[in-house]
Amino acid sequence: MSNATPAELTHFIGGKPVRGTSGRFGDVFQPMDGSLRARVPLASKAEVAAAVENAKAVQPAWAATNPQRRARVLMKFLELAQRDYDKLADCLAREHGKTLPDARGDIQRGLEVVEFAIGIPHLMKGEFTEGAGPGIDLYSVRQPLGVVAGITPFNFPAMIPLWKCAPAIACGNAFILKPSERDPGVPLMLAELFLEAGLPAGVLNVVNGDKEAVDAILEHPDIQAIGFVGSTPIAAYIYERGCAAGKRVQCFGGAKNHMIVMPDADMDQAVDALVGAGYGSAGERCMAVSVAVPVGPKTADILVETLIPRVESLKIGPSTSADADFGPLVTAAHLKKVKDYVALGIEEGAKLQVDGRNFKMQGYEGGFYMGGCLFDEVKPHMRIYKEEIFGPVLSVVRANNYEEGLKLASDHAYGNGVAIFTRDGDAARDFAARVNVGMVGINVPIPVPLAYYTFGGWKRSAFGDLNQHGPDSVRFYTKTKTVTSRWPSGVKEGAEFVIPTMK
């Protein structure tokens, strides 16, 4: 463990780093060795208000900047992000724990939404009807909301902040970002790059904090909209509080993603998919496959028999490793939570086929490591099935037939993602049409849509009417104004006392 003095991070308000004044700090660890990497200030209500004031002051001028010029700022940001790609990935891996290749993927998926947002001159176009009535033209325009905010999670410290802020800024809003206090380094670096790219100071502000900062965002009257990604209990809290305050809110919560393995599936392909999607990023993904549902006893036996040696041979390494399958978990507290779930599964009667709880990384004994765990014979009444574990734990729930597998995924409280592996086109088509889940993969284990489609689950995985990125992001960060115009032609028609119609 390093004895170096931890760095003291800042907020980023009004285009410059600002030291915290609340007197409260959080610890940012380096998960691969357990060392204290930095201390992050936890904002007070006054510090959040200062960020909002900066944003509010500059937003009108930014909104008045034509969309093409706003898009050019995003284009320059992409160039600068490519320049600093390795630096961003290194910081992300060290603060979060994911491997360097996974960190680069985190950044890339965020940049793809920036690429989408560059099309904002087209995306914000309204509608026009000439001659909607006698001498009447009708048109609509999209206008920014004003000051908006994003509250983002620890597991994607580059991707989710960019999913939130890039469309919002492109649409002409000013943005308050409250990243996770567990790994805030990359969001602060992104804010610096936006400023270097030509974004006016104050359009993007980063305020670090915990629940006090979240509540200040929820309560501030000048924040018009809030986007959140995190656990379902907090998503529900933010959605309820934000809506009660009259704000536009979209919140994305937890998941329990199923992968149905049909008897005709390519078993090697299915196992590869389960291992990658179940254990990648140490399972700390809202789109991780955490439940395998083999259909029929023979399929289940083959699947489990094939999975056991693959899970046992997973390569775990430090975050700076280029060839590890996954790295450590984000904090010691989260590591304990995941291990406690494994112990609970054993108590509930599930069969633990692979136990990775005692894994230790040589030379990194202080790190937050855990090997892959594999449960078989998990039942729907068990907590390890009903609750999100968010770690390298895969549960096998055996289904007797296709309908039972479909029902398992459809009836679960969470409805983020689901996948089916099969060679049968009829089964795949039926599954996609009937399953009660928001994102579906057919022989694709992690069905995350590309940036020009929208991302979002159903049921307890999402709160709000609009999804993330894609066209929904433009709808979420703008309001529609419809104008009906008529220019007098010199003919007096007299007063009308009934509602206008087109009869």
pLDDT at 352: 98
Q: Annotated active-site positions, please?
A: 286
Residue 152 within a domain: yes
Q: Do residue 228 and residue 275 come from a single domain?
A: no
Q: Do residue 208 and residue 273 come from a single domain?
A: no
pLDDT at 3: 57
Residue 424 within a domain: yes
Cβ(8)–Cβ(27) under 8 Å? no
Three-state secondary structure readout of 176-211: EEECCCCCCHHHHHHHHHHHHCCCCCCCEEECCCCH
Rounded alpha-carbon distances, angstroms, from residue 373 to 312, 353, 382: 8, 8, 16
Rounded alpha-carbon distances, angstroms, from residue 185 to 107, 134, 267, 301, 361: 13, 59, 41, 45, 25
User: Within 10 Å of residue 376's Cβ, how many Cβ atoms?
Assistant: 22
Q: Do residue 34 and residue 172 come from a single domain?
A: yes
Residue with tokens 């770690």: 391
Q: Which two tokens mark 222?
A: 């000048």
Residue 367 within a domain: yes
Q: Do residue 233 and residue 357 come from a single domain?
A: no
Rounded alpha-carbon distances, angstroms, from residue 187 to 149, 223, 240: 14, 20, 26
Alpha-carbon gap, residue 400 to 296, rounded angstroms? 5
pLDDT at 1: 46
Q: Do residue 243 and residue 304 come from a single domain?
A: no
Q: Which domain CATH number covers 174?
A: 3.40.605.10
Cβ(452)–Cβ(470) under 8 Å? yes
Range list of β-strands (E), 87-234: 127-133, 136-144, 147-151, 174-178, 204-206, 223-229
DSSP code, position 20: -
Q: Do residue 212 and residue 355 come from a single domain?
A: no
Q: Which two tokens mark 239?
A: 């959605």
Q: Do residue 337 and residue 402 come from a single domain?
A: yes
Q: What share of the chain is helix, strand, coil (3-state, %, to 5)?
A: 40, 25, 40
Cβ(263)–Cβ(401) under 8 Å? no
Rounded alpha-carbon distances, angstroms, from residue 137 to 129, 140, 206, 489, 500: 6, 10, 43, 14, 14
Sign of CA dihedral 175, 196, 184, 78: positive
Range list of β-strands (E), 397-438: 414-415, 417-421
Q: Which domain CATH number covers 379?
A: 3.40.309.10
Output the pTM of the full model: 0.95
What tens-digit pLDDT sequence spans the chain (503 residues)?
455 789 999 999 999 999 999 999 999 999 999 999 999 999 999 999 999 999 999 999 999 999 999 999 999 999 999 999 999 999 999 999 999 999 999 999 999 999 999 999 999 999 999 999 888 999 999 999 999 999 999 999 999 999 999 999 999 999 999 999 999 999 999 999 999 999 999 999 999 999 999 999 999 999 999 999 999 999 999 999 999 999 999 999 999 999 999 999 999 999 999 999 999 999 999 999 999 999 999 999 999 999 999 999 999 999 998 899 999 999 999 999 999 999 999 999 999 999 999 999 999 999 999 999 999 999 999 999 999 999 999 999 999 999 999 999 999 999 999 999 999 999 999 999 999 999 999 999 999 999 999 999 999 999 999 999 999 999 999 999 999 999 877 656 677 778 877 66
Residue with tokens 């050019």: 72
Sign of CA dihedral 231, 212, 165, 465: positive
- Count how many domains the chain has: 2
Q: Do residue 249 and residue 278 come from a single domain?
A: no
Residue 204 within a domain: yes
Q: Which two tokens mark 152?
A: 């983002």
Domain extent, residue 159, equals 7-253+470-482
Residue 449 within a domain: no
Residue 74 within a domain: yes
Backbone φ and ψ for 395, nearest 5 degrees, come out as -110, 135
Sign of CA dihedral 288, 291, 295, 300: positive
Backbone φ and ψ for 43, nearest 5 degrees, come out as -70, 150
The rounded radius of gyration (Å) of the Cα atoms in the chain is 25
Residue 93 within a domain: yes
Q: Name the β-bridge partners of 30.
A: 35
Residue 489 within a domain: no
Cβ(466)–Cβ(130) under 8 Å? no
Q: Do residue 247 and residue 280 come from a single domain?
A: no
Q: Do residue 394 and residue 275 come from a single domain?
A: yes
Q: Which two tokens mark 437?
A: 């889940």
Q: Name the β-bridge partners of 83.
A: none
Q: Do residue 137 and residue 69 come from a single domain?
A: yes
DSSP string, 345-382: HHHHT-EEEE--TT---TT-TTS-----EEEES--TTS
Q: Do residue 323 and residue 352 come from a single domain?
A: yes
Cβ(1)–Cβ(361) under 8 Å? no
